[in-house]
Amino acid sequence: MSTGLPLPRVEARAKVTGAARYAVEHSADGVAYGWIVTSTVARGRIEAIDTAAALAAPEVVAVITHENAPRLQPVDDHELRVLQAPEVSYRGQIVGVVVAESLESAREAAALVRVDYAAEGHDVLLVRDHPKLYRPEKVNPNYPTDTSFGDFDGAFAAAEVRVDVTYTTPAFHNNPMEPHATLAVWDEDGLTLYESSQGAPTARAPVAKVLGLADERVRVVAEHVGGGFGSKGTPRPHAVLAAVAAQVTGRPVKLAVTRQQMFQITGYRTPTVQRMRLGADADGRLVAIGHDVQEQTSTVREFAEQTATPTRVMYAGANRRTTHLVAALDVPTPSWMRAPGECPGMYALESAMDELAVAAGIDPVALRVRNDPEVDPEEGVPFSSRNLVACLREGAARFGWDARDPRPSTRREGRWLVGSGVASSTYPARCRPAQAFARAEAGGRHFVVGIGATDIGTGARTVLTQVAAETLGVEPGQVTMMVGDSALPHAPVAGGSAGTASWGSAVQGACRALRAQLDASGGPSGTDTVEATYDTTEDLERQKELSRHAFGAQFVTLRVDVDSGEIRVDRLLGVFAAGRILNPRTARSQFIGGMTMGMAMALMEESVVDLEFGDYLNHDLAQYHVPVNADIPSIEAHWIDEEDPDVNPLGVKGIGEIGIVGTAAAVGNAFFHATGVRIRDLPLRPDRVL
């Protein structure tokens, strides 16, 4: 048995010794360096660009703007059509790129590019009931915009206990350790992008399309990636810009997005305004569940986050409705950020459940257990497995929940008010079609397995090695796992927490097929190789119709300084039900990473809009606050044994995102328990607390 063991990352040594190459660490002969020039107005038109001073600066090779850039093809994601027109749709939009012999010269010359704008007024702030709100056709990735069952209005009006509250969340920016970066190299075969991407194979087609190339002419390599959190899930405009710069100059070009530019061109989580209405009988049984979402998109492309979708699966209740509205503002296009939809949506639902528990005088764990549905409450089909109640019970036992005095604002330690809170967590357990190969070499003593998966630092390479070794019946050390290249068999993005399930099912299939061939033939002799391939498409088409989700329970203890408003989290404890856990070491990292990010959402992270310039004020890690180890003295992630053969061929549920879901609500609920005050706008800044 190789799965289930805490195998260290197979690439750990390469990473700590610096041998692992990230995107722009790859080398290329004759390489030049690009520096992005961005717009300084939020809306308007470029009237003139003067590039003379930049072109005269030392070492400058080229300055590319909409006036001299090659024409690009139409694509769905208009953000990829860089430098095609003088119109400016948001502050920080790419208006040019300077290419030079060194990074320093490119940067220096970029400051010399003079752009004159005809600026127009901008509208960059999402406010409640914004006049530009409209109803999108679908919400991401393809869910119905609204759902309605029974008579929500009537049931809510008649409910014995009612909660009608509105929560707001600000924009949040993904900040992976490695900023987005591309090395673009053209040769006779076409274009190669060494790209910091969550999906080398999936990035290829949109880049090829916008450049007017056949897919086979583009190769994307993402061998090692320093995180993404969703922001590298689709190609960003800088990747196309690097390809264009390399094409125009006839040189390989390295283009690294700066941390500051990441706040403008690589995506973020939309702010939300969420009205929650919960109606229950005196025993806390939900009779009416309403979740109405308002959020933003850009004028460049519609991005409609699926914020209310978790409310469709969480709790039983005959009368229910969910709705989404979006406003197209003069802002960068929002994008995926860890648990898009589920994360902000569950903040609102799980905060409202706490308010309902208080209003009904019922323990918040008991309230959630009481409303656990038998089947998916909107789809009407069974769950492949649903162990929310087991997570709540085990979490409560480990946390010591039963000893909690429910009365708010009654525990004081010096200047601190102390409280605890709970919230549920969920995330869809997706599995997408994937292909893989497995090859026996060296007389059947060594194996090479390949799939176009991407390891963004999560341990994907390692768990796939474990799946391959176990299926082949060999040691992990006998398997070389090849990932991170669009030249490998096609596989889905490292996103939607679907990576391990999708890729692992394909790797398992390929290794089973190879094992069968070897058992029949006796294995390769000498330098011969035996290879098998597998495609999971048909397996997935044959799957039963079920509702597939992971679940979890989050518990928090915190204290609030009554003089300063400072909040310190003392303890986070999560229990998750996510199918088979393949590697407890990397799984734990995923869970506690998500929980930490959820805590930061509640207390620290916030992208602050500058109304005058129409951009984010705090666009670096000095002012956009993310937590460090000292911010959480105790963090525990546990999981329950969950056998779920029906969820997908491998029996695993993704764990990349569920850890963040619910944590912010648990923090807010603990804050209420500590203080007796309910703050419904994140983050819980000291100025809001006091």
- For residues 524 and 662, which CB has a smaller minimum distance to ligand MOS in the complex? 662
Minimum Å gap between C-beta 138 and ligand MOS is: 17
Question: With CB under 6 A as the contact rule, which of the stretches 227-235, 260-268, 467-475, 669-677 interacts with ligand MOS?
Answer: 227-235
Q: Based on CB atoms, which residue is closest to ligand MOS, 337 or 655?
A: 337
User: Which residues between 385 and 444 bind ligand MOS (CB under 6 A)?
Assistant: none
Shorter beta-carbon distance to ligand MOS: residue 268 or 555: 268
Q: Which is nearer to ligand MOS, 334 or 395 (CB)?
A: 334
How far, in Å, are 73, 404, 553, 585 from residue 634 at the CA level? 52, 18, 16, 17
Instruction: Give the integer Cα–Cα distance in Å for 41 and 682.
Output: 28
CB of 689 to ligand MOS, least distance (A): 29
Residue from 34, 176, 230, 237 binding ligand MOS (CB under 6 A): 230
Nearer to ligand MOS, 34 or 341 (CB): 341
Using CB under 6 A as the binding criterion, the count of chain residues that bind ligand MOS stands at 11
CB of 305 to ligand MOS, least distance (A): 11
**Is the link from the previous residue into 344 a cis peptide, with omega within 30 of 0?**
no
Whether 127 and 59 have beta carbons less than 8 Å apart is answered as no
The two tokens of residue 548 are 């597939």
Closest to ligand MOS by CB, 485 vs 657, is 657
Residue of the chain from 227, 233, 310, 334 that contacts ligand MOS (CB under 6 A): 233
Q: Interacting stretch for ligand MOS, rule CB under 6 A, among 50-58, 132-140, 271-279, 336-344?
A: 336-344
Residue 235 is a binding residue for ligand MOS (CB under 6 A): no
The span from the CA of 421 to the CA of 674, in Å, is 9
Burial degree of 681 (CB within 10 A; 0-12, 13-18, 19+): middle
Interface with ligand MOS, residue 594, by CB under 6 A = no
Least distance in angstroms from the C-beta of 456 to ligand MOS: 8
Region near ligand MOS per CB under 6 A, out of 215-223, 234-242, 332-340, 641-649: 332-340
Q: Which two tokens stand for residue 398?
A: 């480990």
Supply the DSSP symbol for 476. Answer: G
Among the listed residues 60, 337, 573, 595, the single contact to ligand MOS using CB under 6 A: 337
The whole-angstrom separation of Cα 305 and Cα 171 is 12
**Strand runs labelled E in 539-616:** 549-561, 567-577, 609-610, 615-616
Mask of contacts with ligand MOS, 373-392, x by CB under 6 A? --------------------
* Beta carbon nearer to ligand MOS, 428 or 524: 428
The b/e string for 569-579 (b: 16+ C-beta within 10 A; e otherwise) is: bebbbbbbbbb
Minimal distance, residue 502 CB to ligand MOS, in Å? 12
Tokens of 678: 């309910």
- Binding segment for ligand MOS among 229-237, 386-394, 459-467, 540-548 (CB under 6 A)? 229-237
Residue 259 host element (H or E): helix 259-265
CB of 202 to ligand MOS, least distance (A): 11
Least distance to ligand MOS, CB of residue 541, Å? 23
CB 365 within 8 A of CB 257: no
Smallest gap, in angstroms, from Cβ of residue 296 to ligand MOS? 17
For the bound state, the minimum distance from the C-beta of residue 657 to ligand MOS, rounded and expressed in Å, comes to: 6
From the CB of 458, what's the least distance to ligand MOS, in Å? Answer: 10
Q: Which residue is nearest to ligand MOS (CB)?
A: 230
Does residue 178 carry a catalytic annotation? no
E strands, 201-285, in order: 218-221, 253-256, 272-280
Among positions 641-680, residues that touch ligand MOS (CB under 6 A) are 657
User: Which is catalytic among the residues 355, 394, 642, 657?
Assistant: 657
CA distance 361 to 282: 9
How is residue 382 annotated by DSSP?
P
Tell me the window of 12-20, 219-227, 334-342, 438-446 that interacts with ligand MOS (CB under 6 A).
334-342
Q: Where are the beta strands (DSSP E) in 490-566?
A: 530-535, 549-561
> Is residue 336 a contact residue for ligand MOS (CB under 6 A)?
yes
Assess 495 for contact with ligand MOS (CB under 6 A).
yes
What x/- string results for residues 188 through 217 when contact with ligand MOS is judged by CB under 6 A? ----------x-------------------
- The Cα–Cα gap between 276 and 130 comes to 18
Phi-psi region at 192: left, alpha or beta (left = phi > 0; alpha = psi -120 to 50): beta
- Segment interacting with ligand MOS (CB under 6 A) among 176-184, 333-341, 547-555, 637-645: 333-341
- 330 φ, ψ (degrees, to nearest 5): -85, 60
Contact string 153-192 vs ligand MOS (x = CB under 6 A)? ----------------------------------------
Residue where the block lists tokens 């009006």: 157
Binder to ligand MOS among 338, 370, 404, 430 (CB under 6 A)? Answer: 338
Buried b (16+ CB within 10 A) or exposed e, 116-147: ebebeebbbebeeebeebeebeebbeebebeb
Residue given tokens 């993904």 in the structure block: 174
* Least distance in angstroms from the C-beta of 678 to ligand MOS: 29
Give the CA distances from residue 559 to residues 233, 399, 632, in Å, rounded to whole numbers and listed in that order: 37, 16, 12
Longest dimension (CA), the chain: 79
100: nearest Cα among 111, 90, 92: 111
Q: What angle do CA 337, 234, 603 make, to 5 degrees?
A: 10
User: What is the three-class DSSP state of 414?
Assistant: coil
Cβ-based nearer residue to ligand MOS, 44 or 233: 233
Cβ-based nearer residue to ligand MOS, 267 or 476: 267
Tokens at residue 89, please?
Answer: 């749709």
SS3 state of residue 88: strand
d(CA 491, CA 433): 7
Q: Would you please indicate which residues are annotated as catalytic (active-site) residues?
A: 657
Interacting residues toward ligand MOS by CB under 6 A? 198, 229-230, 233, 336-338, 340, 495-496, 657
